[in-house]
Amino acid sequence: MTDSPADDLGRLLNSPLPPSFAELTPEQLADLTGLVEAGLQHRIDALTADAFGALDNLPVFLRGAVRKVVGL
C-alpha cells in the first residue's frame, strides 16, 4: 500500500496539512513535497559545511578532539 502525496507531505512536515491543501492535485502535492525535501537537504548540507568551516577557527591541535566530541 502506498501513501498519498498528501500523507507524504504531512509526514515530511511533521504536521497535519491545512485544509486548503485538499484543493491541490496529487501532482502539485508531489511537486511541493519534492521542493520541501530539496530545501531540507540544502539546509542540512549548509549546516554541515558551516560546522566543518567552524573548525577552521580552532587551533590545529584541537580540531581532532573537537571533531570527535561533536561527532563529525
> Which residue, among 41, 69, 68, 67, has the nearest Cα to 52 in the 3D structure?
67
Instruction: State how far the alpha carbon of 15 is from the alpha carbons of 35, 58, 71, in Å.
Output: 17, 39, 29
**What pLDDT is attached to residue 53?**
83
Q: What is the DSSP letter of 22?
A: G
Q: In the predicted model, what is the mean pLDDT of residues 4-15?
A: 89
pLDDT confidence of 68, banded at 50, 70, 90?
confident
More confident residue, 20 or 54: 20
pLDDT in tens, 19-42: 999 999 999 999 999 999 999 999
**What pLDDT is attached to residue 71?**
78
- Judge whether 18 and 43 are in contact, CB under 8 Å: no
Q: What is the DSSP letter of 20?
A: G
pLDDT confidence of 66, banded at 50, 70, 90?
confident
